[in-house]
A and B are shown apart, each in its own frame.
Chain A
Amino acid sequence: MSVSRETLESLFYTMAKTAVTRIPVDVYEALKAAREREDNPLARAQLDAILKNIEIACSTTRPICQDTGTPYLFLEIGDEFPLRSQVVEAAKEGIRRATREGYLRPNAVDPVYFKNSGDNTGRFIPWVHVDLVPGDSLRVHLMMKGGGSEAPSTLVMSTPLKGWENVKRAAVEAVANAGPLPCPPVIVSVAVAAGADIATSLAKRALLRPIGERHPDPKVARIEEELLDALNKLGLGPHGFGGKTSVLDVKFEYAHRHPATFAIAVITSCWATRRVEALVTRDGEARILSKHLLPTPGGGCAPGVPQVEG
């Protein structure tokens, strides 16, 4: 049997609902660790509220944040995967259903005709990134990206000679100048590329990497570590109340640049970083791969992999 449109729609519905109600385990663990090492009482109170909020959202299947974000789809489509041209339409249908059922706030606003589409889909929304890969399956990441944490987004078109100086400056200043607006502790993603669009796109995609995972290139990994260490000396802290954790992690990505250009993008994601990863085989087996905080029968929460709902 071959994968059906219905399977894809159910998967995307589950992914949207999961993304906004069940925090990824890596984000939860990073926030818990930040709480453990914090001794500033105001910062600790913010982290306590954040953790309590995450647990309430989990046990009641309610959105973690009322800003349920803008949907971003990152698709890795295998050569032999059927239904290729229907994947985005199926995603739209799943997102519409999650909106109808009250899990997503309608966030897609037409800037020209001043109208909210009401269902979180619209012109170029969800935003889609496609990679073509060998094989016969579809691997998909859905990121529900909060609006507030777009505030620090920075693009610097540097001269190449000042490139690395401007990378360091841009990363630190983006986080410092935005202060409490993007809901820190944030995840910071920095990318260098030939063009503005390549840099922002790579930086956004690098937010998919789990917290704590270093870039496979050891030199890039050291850049990430250096920036992480530096940013946590800012003293901004959770929601700007000071303390040890201003950022949960730093990601760095790059493309080959043009000899004359050095585009630098800095993108951030709020503490409520919401992303889900799933895999669909050509014969229709669809399952979620990422671990999330799930409700337990006893009324608590524990890490697990969500089941796809019908």
Chain B
Amino acid sequence: MAEYRLRTPLSDEDVEKLRVGDIVYVSGIMVTARDEAHKKVLETIEAGGKLPIDLRGLVLYHCGPVARKRPDGTWEIVAAGPTTSMRMESVEAEFIEKTGVKMVVGKGGMGQRTAEAMRKHKAVYAVFTGGAGALAANAIKRVVDVYWLDELGIPEALWVFEVEDFGPLVVTIDSTGRNYYAERMEEVKRNAQKIVEELLKKPIP
């Protein structure tokens, strides 16, 4: 378990040295996308259109922030913790392939299709502490831009954040395709079977 401080744009080399269990603090540009923004990014690319921002080497963040507009028209990010990444599992492999993001940040882990895409395209998945919306907001230095706000609304829009030492992020899928949560959950489910057997031996209290 090593600790790294990385700055975007991330290179293949930056990503390839990371292993599951490593802790990362990232600085630079993070771009948010949840369900609807994933769909719109892929539809735009499919239609031969141009994305509002080039995502190559950047960090994709599964997040729907609480944001409020200051009197001067700039945005304040009030809370910005991660959302459940598995909802994006069906589209993430294609997203990584087509956009060139090097790191995906969310919560709860992702599945084997994403892990395989990360092995193939040299990317990693890392989790930020679920629920830690205030800690995340503290690391967001400013909102560089926001796209598709009118169409998708605050939680679903594509927010471009400039961040400083955003973390701790724990790598749970590395660029070898190893999936920490998949291994852990097998262990937890084995434990669960043993625990149930033990409980069933005991009478009702």
Residues in A lying within 8 Å of B, measured CB to CB: 41-42, 45-46, 49-50, 52-54, 56-57, 60, 62-68, 102-106, 116, 146, 148, 151, 164-165, 168-169, 172-173, 175-177, 179-181, 183, 219, 222-223, 225-226, 230-231, 233-236, 239-242, 270-272
Contact status B81-A45, CB under 8 Å:
no
B residues in contact with A180, CB < 8 Å:
107-109, 127, 130, 181
Any chain A CB within 8 A of the CB of B59? Answer: no
Q: List 17 A-B contacts (CB under 8 A).
A: A42-B170, A63-B133, A66-B65, A66-B78, A102-B66, A146-B131, A148-B107, A148-B130, A168-B200, A172-B195, A172-B196, A176-B189, A219-B205, A226-B205, A235-B187, A235-B191, A239-B107
Any chain A CB within 8 A of the CB of B86? Answer: yes
Interchain CB contact (< 8 A) of A173 among B83, B170, B192, B204: B192
Given known A-B contacts A66-B79, A106-B154, A49 and B129 have beta carbons under 8 A apart: yes
**A68 nearest CB across to chain B (Å):** 7
Q: How far is the CA of A219 from the CA of B135 in the complex (A)?
A: 41
Any chain A CB within 8 A of the CB of B184? Answer: yes
**B19 nearest CB across to chain A (Å):** 13
A residues in contact with B23, CB < 8 Å:
45
Contact status A53-B134, CB under 8 Å:
yes
Interface residues of B in 147-205 (CB under 8 A from A): 153-155, 168, 170, 181, 184-185, 187-189, 191-192, 195-196, 198-200, 202, 204-205
Q: Top 5 closest A-B pairs, CB basis?
A: A176-B192, A102-B68, A222-B205, A53-B132, A53-B135
Interchain CB contact (< 8 A) of A49 among B1, B132, B189: B132
Contact status B80-A240, CB under 8 Å:
no
B residues in contact with A271, CB < 8 Å:
131
Q: A105-B79, A177-B192, A240-B185 are in contact. List 19 more A-B contacts (CB 8 A).
A: A42-B1, A46-B129, A56-B138, A60-B134, A62-B134, A65-B81, A65-B132, A102-B76, A103-B78, A106-B153, A169-B196, A176-B189, A179-B108, A180-B107, A180-B109, A235-B187, A239-B107, A240-B188, A270-B131
Q: How far is the CA of A168 from the CA of B64 in the complex (A)?
A: 36
A residues in contact with B83, CB < 8 Å:
67, 148
B residues in contact with A46, CB < 8 Å:
129, 170
B residues in contact with A164, CB < 8 Å:
204
Chain B contact residues: helix, strand, loop or mixed: mixed
Best-buried of B23, B78, B84, B181 by chain A (most CB within 10 Å): B78
Best-buried of A105, A146, A175 by chain B (most CB within 10 Å): A105
Given known A-B contacts A66-B64, A106-B154, A168-B200, A272 and B192 have beta carbons under 8 A apart: no
Q: How far is the CA of A234 from the CA of B135 in the complex (A)?
A: 28
**A106 nearest CB across to chain B (Å):** 7
Contact status B138-A239, CB under 8 Å:
no
Nearest residue in A to B133 (C-beta to C-beta)? A66
Contact status A223-B205, CB under 8 Å:
yes
A residues in contact with B111, CB < 8 Å:
none
Q: How far is the CA of A257 from the CA of B202 in the complex (A)?
A: 23
B residues in contact with A172, CB < 8 Å:
192, 195-196, 199
Interface residues of B in 76-92 (CB under 8 A from A): 76, 78-81, 83-84, 86
Nearest residue in B to A236 (C-beta to C-beta)? B188
Contact status A50-B129, CB under 8 Å:
yes
Q: How far is the CA of A231 from the CA of B191 in the complex (A)?
A: 10
Any chain A CB within 8 A of the CB of B137? Answer: yes
Interchain CB contact (< 8 A) of A177 among B64, B131, B187, B189: B189
